[in-house]
Amino acid sequence: MERFFQRLKFLIEDTSDFIKECAPSEFHPFINTCVLDSLLAAFHTAYIVFPNIAELLHRNDFFREVISLLNQKMYIEARILCVSELNHEKSDLFGNVKDYFPLIDKLVWPKSSPNDCEIIRKLNCFGNVFILGDPSDPPLILIHRHVPNVPSIALPPHFDDVEKKRIFASFFLLIGKDKHMTMCFQSSESTWHLYDNDPKKPSFQPFDPDDFKNYMICLVGYVNITQLEEYKGIPETGEGAGLSNQHVCPSQHFYQQQSVADVEMEDLSYSVSIPETGEGVGPRLFNQSRQDVYPNFSNQSQLVEDVEMLSCSSSDSD
């Protein structure tokens, strides 16, 4: 599994800025872009690491264009493309994850049924569930918490779908704090990194999973890591057998991404209990002997005001 993570090193170690909030201009009038930026950073890092996610994004015309712009470090153009697609004519993007549901919906198959298997039925208790790609074997599942500031059932770092012998592992989380959205992702089998669009801060910093308790989780991305078995024979050139004849090799195309958005601060603070690993139902993305690399929401110390809906803006990060 580590060879998939190696692709992220180029992104994390690059000294140039990744997607950053910038001053408004005639060409780029947008402010408060942290939600959209965090969402695009999440998709781009997943694209870089996982070939099945790369295929998912490249099969959609809109996301294929977004990824192309991000690969070329055309972050402002990628942001403009997303806002234009939403067609809401807003320059202040202060808002929440729900504002970007129309973009996420582009990856949902028209005949997708969220209740077609046991694991999807289980996920529905956590919030809004997006089944991205082929619903019979989706490469990516997103969970968006729609009830803010309410403790939830423990959200484990991975789901074992015993019924279909596959594993969905959490790879990225959009997390909010002080009305500012950021994104954390697993950067190796034992480490996490935090992305932040604040121009006063590094684009990427090491992140301690114990610090999850200080944030409110708004969106979680679960990758179907069992599908990666089908990519073992694919060399870095992108040639070889894959899930389709149009396999895309992210390591040939990727680079840092820059995006725009504002997010709803929804409280998904709860204790995480790590479920049984199951009986050999596929590869393990995580180092199963290292429980400390898992998100830990126990003993939540963050005080959250009684607010029905909190939103995020990049300008409120101080």
d(CA 107, CA 11): 25
Q: Per-residue b/e over 46-83, b at no fewer than 16 CB within 10 Å?
A: bbbbbbbbbbbbbeeeebeebbebbbebbbbbbbbbbb
Please tell me the total number of residues recorded for the chain in this structure. 318
> Are 264 and 95 contacting, i.e. CB atoms less than 8 angstroms apart?
yes
DSSP state of 95: B
The neighbour count for residue 194, using CB atoms within 10 Å, is 21
pLDDT reported for residue 2: 75
d(CA 263, CA 126): 18
> Are 204 and 12 contacting, i.e. CB atoms less than 8 angstroms apart?
yes
Torsion of CA 49, 253, 41, 119, to 10 degrees: -40
d(CA 23, CA 139): 36
pLDDT reported for residue 293: 43
- Report the CATH number that the domain containing residue 286 is assigned in CATH: 3.90.70
Residue 66's Cα: distance from chain center in Å?
15
Quote the number of domains for the chain: 1
Work out the burial of residue 177: count CB atoms within 10 Å of its CB; fewer than 13 is exposed, 13-18 middle, 19 or more buried: middle
Question: DSSP 3-state helix, strand, coil percentages of the chain (rounded to 5)?
Answer: 30, 20, 50
pLDDT reported for residue 270: 26
Q: What is the pTM of this model?
A: 0.75
Which residue bears the tokens 């198959």? 109
pLDDT reported for residue 113: 55
Domain range spanning residue 30? 2-316
260 to each of 97, 104, 265, how far by Cα in Å?
Answer: 11, 14, 16
d(CA 15, CA 192): 19
pLDDT reported for residue 262: 30
> Are 236 and 6 contacting, i.e. CB atoms less than 8 angstroms apart?
no
**CA-wise closest residue to 15 among 260, 256, 182:** 256
Q: Per-residue b/e over 251-277, b at no fewer than 16 CB within 10 Å?
A: bebbbbbbbbbbbbbbbbbbebeeeee
The pLDDT tens digits for 101-151 are: 999 999 998 755 555 566 677 777 788 889 999 988 999 999 997 655 444
258 to each of 62, 122, 147, 266, 315, how far by Cα in Å?
Answer: 16, 34, 28, 23, 16
| Residue 313, SS3 per DSSP | coil
**CA-wise closest residue to 212 among 179, 190, 181, 184:** 184
Residue 178's Cα: distance from chain center in Å?
20
Which residue bears the tokens 């684009």? 203
The pLDDT tens digits for 229-242 are: 887 655 443 333 23
Which bin fits 276, alpha (ψ -120 to 50), beta or left (φ > 0)? beta
| Residue 46, SS3 per DSSP | helix
- Within the chain, which residues score under 50 in pLDDT? 149-154, 235-310, 315-318
